[in-house]
Amino acid sequence: MKIFVGSDHRGFQLKKKMDDALKGMGHEVKDMGTHSENIACDYPEIAYKVGKEVVCNPGSRGILLCMSGIGQSIAANKVPGVYAALVYNEEAAQLSRQHNDSNVLVMGSKFVDESNMLGIIKIWLTTEFEGGRHLRRKEQIQKIEKEFSK
């Protein structure tokens, strides 16, 4: 699977570890930045880059990291077609896929460490969307999205 990853300076160290783990799982990883923890950067730019690539590359996914995950989640969800889920544990990762068909995973480096991160990612990448009643709700979200994308 093609996975677009990004972080701000506060998520940079965790992103480096994540990149290696994803490549080790056989995924194609495209790093959208930042490329240094020593220079403060603006997370909305990173979220936009990852979100845009996910939408423009059907079947791909995105993963974003920052200190809390909140800002990245808000910014990524502004890109029409992005369904970013802020996740701090494996159960939330599973539900974000089963019930919401999330295509961007967001984690906060302050709340997720390396060992938790890898478990969250594995579950998120392998869990399928259940459809059914959840598809109806996803379609309602898409209707709202289209109304404001005009």
Which residues are marked as active site?
A: 66, 99
CB atoms within 10 A of CB 120: 23
Q: Do strands 28-31 and 104-108 pair parallel, antiparallel, or not at all (unpaired)? A: unpaired
CA distance 8 to 72: 9
User: Which residue has tokens 């890109």?
Assistant: 79
Those residues whose C-beta lies under 8 Å from the C-beta of residue 108, and which sit 6 or more positions away, are 11, 65, 66, 67, 68, 69, 70, 86, 88
CA distance 4 to 124: 14
Those residues whose C-beta lies under 8 Å from the C-beta of residue 126, and which sit 6 or more positions away, are none
State the Cα torsion 139-144-149-150 to the nearest 10°: 110
